[in-house]
Amino acid sequence: MAQNYYEVLGLDANAESDEIIKAYRSLAKAYHPDTATHPNAKQLFEKISAAYSVLSDPEKRSAYDRELNESSKEEEIPESDEYSLMADYEYTCEKEEHFLIDGAEVAMTGARHLIMGEREYIVYDDGLIDIGGKLSFKVEGPERYLVDGAEKVLLNSDHFIQKGDEYVVIDGKPFLVRKSDEK
């Protein structure tokens, strides 16, 4: 579904009919092509009118709501789970790692790591495994890093070391800045 009619009118999906009428009148007045100075007034007015045409008719609205509900189920993007909400930082390690879990060595590629406070965890069998601590520190003054082709200048940035590798936190995400020689 390309256009969400509720969003066009600035409404919640549970809006009452009087709210729909009020929103339509306000937007139609603001974007009417005969009076509006907005360069896209005609296109906006057409979208507003189409939204009102569907949402003001109870049968059309009911059918639209069913269609909207079905399409949102298909396009559903997984939200953060409870682990992501608890974590200070989260990353996935693409290289193979070895962990000792319940007395057995487990090799994992793509392990999901969570940093919570001064501890590091991996997600394994829908549970958290504590794999140790991390050393945190702040680097005073400016630093420059290249991230996704764009230069980032950081001032008094947070760093941490885990398993010998040093990371800097940029926009709430850890980025590897120095790899440990031991491995």
Give the tens place of pLDDT for each residue, 65-86. 998 888 766 554 445 667 777 7
Structural domain range at position 139: 135-183
List the single range of 18-27, 109-118, 127-136 with lowest mean pLDDT: 127-136
Would the pTM count as exceeding 0.85?
A: no
Residues 96 and 145 in one domain: no
Residues 89 and 35 in one domain: no
Split into its structural domains, the chain has a count of 3
Residues 66 and 17 in one domain: yes
Residues 141 and 105 in one domain: no
The token duo for 132 is 């140790």
Find how far residue 21's CA is from the centre of its chain: 33
pLDDT band per the 50, 70, 90 thresholds, residue 52? very high
Residues 88 and 52 in one domain: no
Q: By C-alpha distance, which of 88, 109, 94, 86 is closest to 174?
A: 88
Residues 91 and 149 in one domain: no
Residues 13 and 63 in one domain: yes
